[in-house]
Amino acid sequence: MGTLYHFERLIKKYAIDFPVVTLKDGHYEAGDWIEGEIKHRDKRSGAMIPLPEEKIFGSGGTYKKEDRRLLVLEEIPFHAYVFINNKKYQVLEDIDFSYYAGFYSYILKRVDSFDRTEEFK
């Protein structure tokens, strides 16, 4: 059947560049969580938009106003970290529209209020 809608031009128009970091599995050591080392680092581009209020209020507290939706033309690994505007997000939910519309939609959860993004650059 193929792509019914073409969103590539629209996404590229509002796209920003950002790093994507995938980490190795972390572990507990003496009761403290030790974050895994960087497994893969990549540059991507996509359009970031706020979550609709229905998604925030209907989530039962899972999502907040700081969380975002990201529209990209290439897949991003699940649970990868994305750094946009010096804020750290984790990919939590994905919807694959690539067959019908040629893009992927992800929900990004802001994971660190005290953004320490310099460690991943």
Domains and CATH numbers, the chain: 8-26+33-120 (2.40.10.270)
How far apart are alpha carbons 115 and 118 in whole angstroms? 9
Q: How many CB atoms lie within 10 A of CB 29?
A: 8
Give tens-digit pLDDT for 55-109: 676 666 677 778 889 999 999 988 899 998 888 999 988 888 888 888 999 999 9
pLDDT at residue 37 tops 90: no
How far apart are alpha carbons 7 and 9 in whole angstroms? 6
